[in-house]
Homo-oligomer: A and B are copies of this chain.
Amino acid sequence: MGQQGDDGSAEAFLRDFAQLSTIGATPRGGVDREAATVRDGMARAWLGGWLASRGFAMRTDAVGNQFGLLDLVPGAPYVLAGSHLDSQPTAGRLDGAYGVVAAAFAAHRVATGVAAGTTRATRNLAVVNWFNEEGSRFGPSMMGSAVFTGRLGLDEALATTDPAGVSVRAALDAIDGRGEQGPLPVAAYAEIHIEQGRELEETGDRIGVVTGTWAARKFRFRVLGEQSHTGSTRMVDRRDALLGASLLVVEARSLADRFADGPLHTAVSQLDVRPNSPVVVASEVRANLDLRSPDPAVLDAAVERVRAVAARVEAEHGVRVELELTHSWDRQDYQDDCVAVSERVCAELGLAARRMLTVAGHDSTNMKDVVPTAMLFVPSREGISHNEREDTAPEDLVAGVDVLTGVVRELVSAPGTPAAWTSPSLG
């Protein structure tokens, strides 16, 4: 392993992360590195260089997941740590990338400890950059970890196209992003991410230890009306798809406001109007609808209310509303022993930890279904997320790397014969 003077230090972390953030940098301090774009390819190359120069063997699998493998115990399963380098079209520099670089530093520090004889490894080490976590260019989100865990078929993922008609296969090939890494035996997974909320900021706790996920229901909806002239058509004769869609947007918001303590989040954020002409009443609108809550009963009540509103809009405005459930997950827990490890490491470092739920999905939400998974949060300034103004204080970023290092060290040196799960063959 090549070593520099301050290699693995807090200063090195902040310096190297700042360097990565110049790739796809936007004028307002964020990044634009959508999955399998040229700039995603550049970020992957940066990571490959960083890990390879520290002794990690770089591999990619058939869906573009990028691994840095470090064998410490011949034949043992891997402790995986990572997140994703791809971003929303304009995003903050931390979302995903922080977790990848933190994992690289954590793995490198642990490996350094093993080499120095201060840490005894019982598992191997791997850093992972999951392909296409964001899902903004190619749906669904968390694509790479979904294929890795067998939840999504490889062929289906590769055939997915972006709005310009480019497939995942073609886009990955254009950045040499697909490789031949076969099944990997995995013992455990660890990930750290910015909170994307303001619970830590408000409580003053330094680290979030994620114990479970909110439940979610995601819909695509279509409102079907009929084209007519925006000027001359009498109002009573109009069947305005954009009016119907707007009523659903407004109702989704008022649904959330009705639950005063905030256990329901609702959003419509993607909406396409056809024919989208200044003089033609819309004949069709397609949009998404995202409902999340820690309480499945709240979610079920919200879905019922959405269906009632859709029926009312149909009856009152002569349009048809089609609702299609595209994603549904209930509240799910992370493994207790991983929560315990995370809390123990925080206590040792003197950092106040807080048990939390995650509202957003992460690659760890896929991984926790197959192996013991630790998921950590650092604070987000004002909870700003999916925004170039997203930020976290440097001391919080550094503290997060320290906690992740401790967690990875405990997982790598856990006693006993590890129970390994092996990822499916993508050949």
**A binding-site residues for B, Cβ under 8 Å:** 88-90, 134-136, 139, 141, 195-198, 214, 216, 218, 226-238, 240, 242-243, 245-247, 249-250, 253, 256-257, 262, 265-273, 275-283, 288, 290, 292, 358-361, 382-389
Contacts and interface: CB of A to CB of B under 8 A. Distances in A.
B361 A231 contact: yes
A218 to B, nearest CB: 8
Contacts of A359: 229, 231-232
B229 A386 contact: yes
Given A249-B242, A270-B278, A382-B237, A230 B290 contact: yes
Given A234-B383, A243-B253, A267-B281, A275 B90 contact: yes
A137 to B, nearest CB: 9
Given A227-B387, A228-B387, A243-B253, A233 B278 contact: no
A307 B409 CA distance: 61
Given A227-B387, A387-B228, A198 B237 contact: yes
A193 to B, nearest CB: 10
Given A246-B246, A246-B250, A233 B385 contact: yes
Report which residue of A195, A214, A233, A238 has the largest number of chain B beta carbons within 10 angstroms of its beta carbon.
Answer: A233
A269 B272 CA distance: 11
A271 B276 CA distance: 7
Contact of A262 (B235, B387, B389): B235
A91 to B, nearest CB: 8
A387 to B, nearest CB: 4
A141 to B, nearest CB: 7
Contact of A136 (B236, B253, B280, B386): B280
Contacts of A358: 232
Report which residue of A214, A278, A288 has the largest number of chain B beta carbons within 10 angstroms of its beta carbon.
Answer: A278
A135 B278 contact: yes
Given A270-B273, A279-B135, A237 B383 contact: yes
Contacts of A240: 253, 267, 269
A358 B229 CA distance: 12
Contacts of A386: 227-230, 277, 279-281
A237 B214 CA distance: 19
Contact of A232 (B197, B250, B257): B197
8 contacts: A90-B275, A196-B233, A218-B278, A230-B265, A231-B359, A234-B262, A235-B265, A270-B276
A392 B272 CA distance: 31
Given A242-B249, A279-B135, A233 B270 contact: no
B281 A288 contact: no
A233 B292 CA distance: 11
B278 A288 contact: yes
A221 to B, nearest CB: 12
A332 to B, nearest CB: 14
Contacts of A283: 387
A232 B279 contact: no
Contacts of A229: 196, 359-360, 385-386
Contacts of A246: 245-247, 249-250, 268
Given A246-B249, A253-B240, A288-B278, A385 B232 contact: yes
Contacts of A281: 267, 269, 386
Contacts of A275: 88-90, 136
A387 B360 CA distance: 42
A90 B136 contact: no
Closest 3 CB pairs of A and B: A230-B267, A246-B249, A246-B246
Given A257-B235, A385-B229, A387-B228, A269 B262 contact: no
A360 B388 CA distance: 43
B233 A277 contact: no
A292 B231 CA distance: 7
Nearest to A276: B270
A279 B249 contact: no
A195 B292 CA distance: 49
